[in-house]
Amino acid sequence: MAKVLIVDDSPTETYKLTSILEKNGHEVITAENGEQGVAVAKKERPDLVLMDIVMPGLNGFQATRQLSKASETSHIPVIIVTTKDQETDRVWGMRQGAKAYLTKPISEKTLVQAIADAMA
């Protein structure tokens, strides 16, 4: 299946997402903040990135924008997975280059479908 990079500063959320992904046959790599997420994406070239928004330093919107603009990572789909559920956040996230915007808590079915859609 796919190599998925999870960028989230919450160990609990990272664990939940990792469990769902591994159960569905994906390989998981992780980063704890936006800066680390961008660096890991450039080094590891994942097939997909799951990006949190609220993180210290470089936030998920900024990291998504960097990934979607950089030539070496612009082909990697980014799915935002966040607690921010305002329509303005959703619109802004998509404008930064995200392929999908999901709000926590997220169901396994929703996540698996979003990954399939983003990689299609």
3-state secondary structure 99-110: CEEEECCCCHHH
pTM: 0.97
Q: How many CB atoms lie within 10 A of CB 116?
A: 11
pLDDT for res 106: 94
**Strands (DSSP E) found in the chain:** 3-7, 27-31, 48-51, 78-82, 100-103
pLDDT for res 29: 98
pLDDT for res 88: 97
Mean pLDDT, consecutive 10-residue stretches, the chain (120 aa), reads 96 98 98 98 98 96 98 97 96 97 96 96
pLDDT for res 37: 98
Q: How many CB atoms lie within 10 A of CB 79?
A: 23
